[in-house]
Amino acid sequence: ADSVGPEHSTRQTETVAADKGDAKAYCALESLIEAMAAERRVMIARYSYRKNTPPRMVALIPSKSSRADRGSHLEIQYLPFTEDIREWTCASLPMPSAAQRDAAAALVDALDLEPA
């Protein structure tokens, strides 16, 4: 599951959940998500939203709910095909100096996220 991260996504993520009120679908999906989470697995699938749209490669990532009133779900993360991957042509940024890191840390420490 750690091998598929947000940097691999080519679009927004979507969610798959059991139909509300369908106890069998809920039980089946919860069992699948439990097993996937226990083994730290993701599913790779072909996904087509409509009949007339081309299929896309997606990763289905288990997400267990911590709230009792919500069920677990699978997150759909769109994966790139080989032709979607582009080489990075820009040079890497230089490593920051110790003084620059200290200045950035001081700036973050000075931030106040409380409402005024």
CATH class held by domain 6-82: mainly beta
Q: What pLDDT, on a 0 to 100 scale, did the predictor assign at position 12?
A: 79
Q: What is the pLDDT along the chain (116 residues), one digit of tens a residue?
A: 567 766 666 777 888 888 888 889 989 999 999 999 999 999 999 998 888 998 888 999 998 877 666 778 999 998 887 777 777 788 888 999 999 999 999 999 998 877 76
- The SS3 of residue 76 is strand
H-type alpha helices, the chain: 23-38, 98-110
Q: What angle do CA 25, 30, 31 make, to 5 degrees?
A: 100
> Distance (Å, rounded) from C-alpha 14 to C-alpha 41?
18
In this structure, what DSSP letter does residue 17 have?
Answer: -
Q: Look up residue 6 and give its two tokens.
A: 């947000």
Residues 6+ apart with CB under 8 A from 78: 9, 10, 11, 12, 13, 56, 57, 58
Domain locations in the chain? 6-82
Q: What angle do CA 50, 51, 54 make, to 5 degrees?
A: 80
| 44 close to 79: Cβ distance less than 8 angstroms | yes
